[in-house]
Amino acid sequence: MAGKVIDSNNDEDTDISAVKRGMISVTPVHFDLTNYGIMKMLEGWKISY
């Protein structure tokens, strides 16, 4: 995530406000890039490991 910060909200409980006060802002982001269609296909493969 990148870009210019748009500080249009001056509420004290926002991430931008916290960072301005020297605090840390943590944003939990998760990307699931699993191709579930391919996973179903791979389940049928006879692979021993």
- For 6, the 3-state DSSP assignment is coil
Per DSSP, the residues of 5-48 read -------TTSHHHHHHTT-------------HHHHHHHHTS---
pLDDT score for 36? 93
Could you give the CA distance from residue 40 to residue 18 in angstroms, rounded to a whole number?
A: 44
3: its two tokens = 């870009």
pLDDT score for 34? 94
Q: Is the pLDDT of residue 48 over 90?
A: no
Whole-structure pTM value: 0.43
Tens-digit pLDDT profile for residues 2-46: 788 777 777 888 888 888 899 998 888 889 999 999 998 998 898
pLDDT score for 24? 93
Cβ-based neighbours of 11, under 8 Å, separated by 6 or more: 17
